[in-house]
């Protein structure tokens, strides 16, 4: 899980979702998991 200021999709399978007011990237590739913070 990376905590970044700007969340970006890193591949086609990544999807940006908002969960409890926090932007997250979920992907089948574990290295691509991010959240904004």
Domain count, the chain: 1
Mean pLDDT of the chain: 96
10 pLDDT above the threshold of 90: yes
How do residues 16-28 score in pLDDT, each as one tens digit? 999 999 999 999 9
State the pTM of this model. Answer: 0.81
**3-state SS assignment for residue 4:** strand
- CA 30 to CA 28: how far, in whole Å? 6
Query: What does the chain come to in residues?
Result: 37
Name the DSSP class of 30.
G
Name the percent of the chain lying above pLDDT 90.
97
37 pLDDT above the threshold of 90: no
Range of the domain at 7: 2-36
Overall average pLDDT of the 7-34 stretch: 97
């Amino acid at each position: 899980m990376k905590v970044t200021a700007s969340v970006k999709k890193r591949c086609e399978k990544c999807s940006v979702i908002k969960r409890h007011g926090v932007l997250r990237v979920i992907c089948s590739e574990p290295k691509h998991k991010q959240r904004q913070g």
